[in-house]
Amino acid sequence: MLTIVILIIFFALVFDFLNGFHDAANSIATIVSTRVLTPLQAVCWAAFFNFIAAFTFGVGCGDHRLARGSFVPRGEPRGDPGGLIGAIAWNIITWYLGLPTSSSHALIGGFAGAALTKAGF
């Protein structure tokens, strides 16, 4: 069980890193392309407000409400590794192809896919 917890933490940190570089371009593209701020100023601006927003609005995106149900035995991981791996793969693929997608939506889609794989329709 400890190994699974360590893997989940590892995949969560990888997803968090990918979320940062994947969504940063989406959030600062307009302000940089219009030359309102330099790229460095825009990244610092986005980092500051993302940090503040976590404490102001909370971080309830991946709170597992989607994957809770009677099909998940107590004490068993709820598809977290599968959901995180799916979101990580989607972020890397869309980043490589240059598609502006949301990492939060990828995370929820990964958890939904893991829940459907576990329980079926």
Q: 38-52, pLDDT tens digit by residue?
A: 989 988 888 888 788
pTM (predicted TM-score):
0.65
Could you read off the pLDDT of 14-35 as tens digits, one per residue? 988 888 777 777 778 888 889 9
Residue 4, CA atoms < 13 Å, CB-side half-sphere: 9
Asked if 103 and 87 touch (Cβ cutoff 8 Å), the reply is yes
Cα-Cα end-to-end distance for the chain: 28
Q: Which two tokens stand for residue 43?
A: 């990244």
